Amino acid sequence: SSVVANSKRNLTSIKDDDPNHFDPRYFGAGRAYHKPRMEETFLRFEQAKNFFDKLGVEIFNAGIGGKLDSFPRVNFSDLFSILKRKKNTYFYNLVLWLTPR
């Protein structure tokens, strides 16, 4: 194995750099990291969606593949035409959200 389990969630890479990350400084030999709790991660995305829905802010998932279904999926290249059509709405919502009440 290329990792040592220090506890249930804390791991240390002992063998080599992680080929799944573009920067070897992120996860590499001798680096400590932990396993994410995916159920909690997905729950937090749902909470974020509910929060921003109430503010009228749309969030899109322009990622390729994956299991995050909290946000509507869009093609990455189509995202910019969507934003261009809605730019005034996004700006207005952002200003409202940032304005102290």
Mind listing the pLDDT tens digit for each residue in 7-58? 555 655 556 666 666 666 666 666 666 667 889 999 999 999 999 999 988 8
**Which tokens belong to 90?**
């996004």
pLDDT score of 28: 63
- Domain range holding 3? 1-35
Same domain, 28 and 52: no
Assess contact for 73 and 61: CB atoms under 8 A: yes
DSSP annotation of 73: B
Same domain, 22 and 50: no
- 26 or 68, greater pLDDT: 68
Same domain, 3 and 49: no
Same domain, 54 and 86: yes
pLDDT score of 12: 58
- 100 or 81, greater pLDDT: 81
Q: How far apart are CA 11 and CA 34, in angstroms?
A: 5
Place of tokens 């995202």: 79
The domain total for the chain is 2
10 three-class SS: strand
- pTM surpassing 0.85? no
pLDDT score of 81: 75
